[in-house]
Amino acid sequence: MSIESYMNDVGQRARAASRQLVRATTEQKNQALYAMAEALESARPYLQQENEKDLVNGREKGLDAALLDRLALNDARISGMIEGLRQVASLPDPVGEITDMVFRPSGIQLGKMRVPLGVIGIIYESRPNVTIDAASLCLKSGNATILRGGSEAFYSNQAIAAAVASGLKTAGLPEDAVQVINTTDRDAVGKLITMPEYVDVIVPRGGKGLIERISRDARVPVIKHLDGNCHVYIDNEADLDKAFRIALNAKTRRYGVCNAMESLLVHVEVAEAILPKLAAAYAEKGVELVGCEQTRGLIAAGVATEEDWYTEYLAPKLSIKLVTDMDEAIAHINQYGSHHSDAIVTQNYSKTRAFMTEVDSSSVMVNASTAFADGFEYGLGAEIGISTDKIHARGPVGLVGLTSQKYVVLGDGHTRDN
């Protein structure tokens, strides 16, 4: 079969499964998730055997240590996937909720019903655990899923797919509700993102290059997370103790995460009071600093180039810029930032209102670390990603972000006259 017809077949099956999933009860979906957890538990030796094939191939291909590590399905990772499935089962089911039901002057009752999106395509790199994360969130939200993992994880993903299929079968749900693409042909991705008749939305997970490529070529909507170039702005009316704690936490809690601060903006009036103290704390943690001219007059720091202000380091590195007022900070964030998560530290009430209104980011923080931008911290339970888009879902995307709302109209023979 050609890739074209294989993918058409996958798409048709997914669409058909999604029609059945709409009828699935919460209990059935949860039963499937628990059964998948059990299937993974019993398949531990098989999963590791199949994963070993991927690791052997990966070593032969010369994958670097970080990639091999993400690829490995050790016992702890399998336990993590099992635990993840049980957590998703315990989350409330968003599907079917009817809200805002009102009588209209015409006599009809109008409300909004929360419904699955339909078919979701997930494209991700070689982290087999994403297969379970994505499948479980999509299933719980009533969506059929087509999963396309990195080719380096081929055998691992197929083994996980078998456990997923057995869980679906146990619960009496269609096995096509979760399909894992069984070819490593790259054309499969090209086809997956250009079948609007079968796929309602694409969620790419991986590096910026992958996501930009997919967004450019897709013919269906894409829920995407590009980068997290997050800022903390320390205002001249900040409580400097809070500012110190927040600026330190936002940068040094973890370096490789999208909600880490990458640029620190400091009001000139308080720069001398706080920057040397912060610089010492960063030095202790091994954080490399680059800064604007004025910053470099106060602390030891390399030269920050124009490029630095745009950069998400994902590393122990920070760019620092002095600003003369909040407006300059807001303009800088809106221009150079990635509309992910940005914070102000200030005790001035009016400034908090303006900052919240004017900063165009998916999360805007007042006197809190950007590190809070996270599905678990926000109470979503789990997230399929953090969207830096404005359309549909913005910020951490959990189960609700994988649904839509349709209008329902209840009449009793009502017709429209005018």
Among positions 397-416, residues that touch a second copy (CB under 8 A) are 404-416
Report the 10 Å Cβ neighbour count for 39: 21
Q: Which of 97, 61, 361, 409 is nearest to 233 (CA)?
A: 361
Q: Tell which phi-psi region holds residue 276, choosing left (phi > 0), alpha (psi between -120 and 50) or beta.
A: alpha
Task: Tell me: does residue 180 bind a second copy (CB under 8 A).
Answer: no
Give the type of residue at 172. Answer: G
Q: Which of 86, 112, 90, 93 is nearest to 101 (CA)?
A: 112
Task: Tell me: does residue 367 bind a second copy (CB under 8 A).
Answer: yes
Count, residues near a second copy per rule CB under 8 A: 72
Residues numbered 332 to 351 that lie near a second copy (CB under 8 A) are 334, 343
Task: Tell me: does residue 169 bind a second copy (CB under 8 A).
Answer: no
CB-CB contact of 362 with 340 (8 Å): yes
Task: Tell me: does residue 257 bind a second copy (CB under 8 A).
Answer: no
One residue of 26, 57, 354, 381 binding a second copy per CB under 8 A: 354
CB of 205 to a second copy, least distance (A): 18
CB of 130 to a second copy, least distance (A): 22
Residues numbered 110 to 149 that lie near a second copy (CB under 8 A) are 110, 113, 115, 117-118
E strand or H helix at 80, and its extent?
helix 75-90
One residue of 28, 87, 96, 314 binding a second copy per CB under 8 A: 96
Residues numbered 17 to 36 that lie near a second copy (CB under 8 A) are 19, 22-23
Q: What b/e sequence results for 233-248 when a residue is b if at least 16 CB atoms lie within 10 Å of its CB, and e otherwise? A: bbbbbbeeeebbebbb
Strands (E), 104-205: 109-116, 119-124, 144-148, 178-180, 201-205
CB of 17 to a second copy, least distance (A): 13
Nearest to a second copy of 296, 394 (CB atom): 394
CB-CB contact of 230 with 262 (8 Å): yes
Task: Tell me: does residue 249 bind a second copy (CB under 8 A).
Answer: yes
Task: Tell me: does residue 378 bind a second copy (CB under 8 A).
Answer: yes
One residue of 86, 169, 277, 392 binding a second copy per CB under 8 A: 392
Nearest to a second copy of 6, 378 (CB atom): 378
